[in-house]
Copies of this chain bind each other. A is one copy, B any other.
Amino acid sequence: MEIQGLTGRLLDELGPAIASGELPEGSVLRGEELEERFGVSRTVVREAVRILEGMRMVASRRRVGITVLPKSLWDVFDPMVIRWRLAGADRPAQLRSLGSLRVAVEPAAAALAAVHATDDDRRELSALAVELTVAAREADLNTFLGHDIAFHALVLRASGNEMFAHLGDTVGAVLTGRTEYHLMPHQPEPYAIRLHREVADAICSGHGEEAERAMRTIVTGALAELNQQLG
Contacts and interface: CB of A to CB of B under 8 A. Distances in A.
Nearest to A56: B1
Interface in A27-67: 43, 46-47, 50-51, 53-56, 59
A78 B75 contact: yes
A152 to B, nearest CB: 15
A72 B50 CA distance: 23
A72 B37 CA distance: 37
Given A47-B50, A50-B51, A51-B51, A108 B100 contact: yes
Classify chain A: how many residues form its interface, as a range: 35 or more
A75 B72 CA distance: 19
A37 B141 CA distance: 54
A101 B164 contact: yes
A207 B188 CA distance: 34
A98 B161 CA distance: 9
A3 interface: yes
A23 interface: no
Contacts of A73: 1
Number of copies: 2
A41 to B, nearest CB: 12
Contacts of A47: 46-47, 50
A78 B74 CA distance: 10
A173 interface: no
Contacts of A56: 1
A142 interface: no
A103 interface: yes
A192 interface: no
B104 A162 contact: no
14 contacts: A1-B73, A7-B50, A43-B46, A47-B50, A54-B80, A71-B162, A72-B162, A76-B162, A77-B163, A97-B162, A97-B163, A101-B163, A104-B164, A105-B105
Interface of A: 1, 3, 7, 43, 46-47, 50-51, 53-56, 59, 71-73, 75-80, 93, 96-98, 100-101, 103-105, 107-109, 112, 159, 161-166
Given A72-B162, A75-B79, A101-B164, 6 more contacts: A72-B165, A75-B78, A96-B161, A97-B163, A98-B163, A104-B108
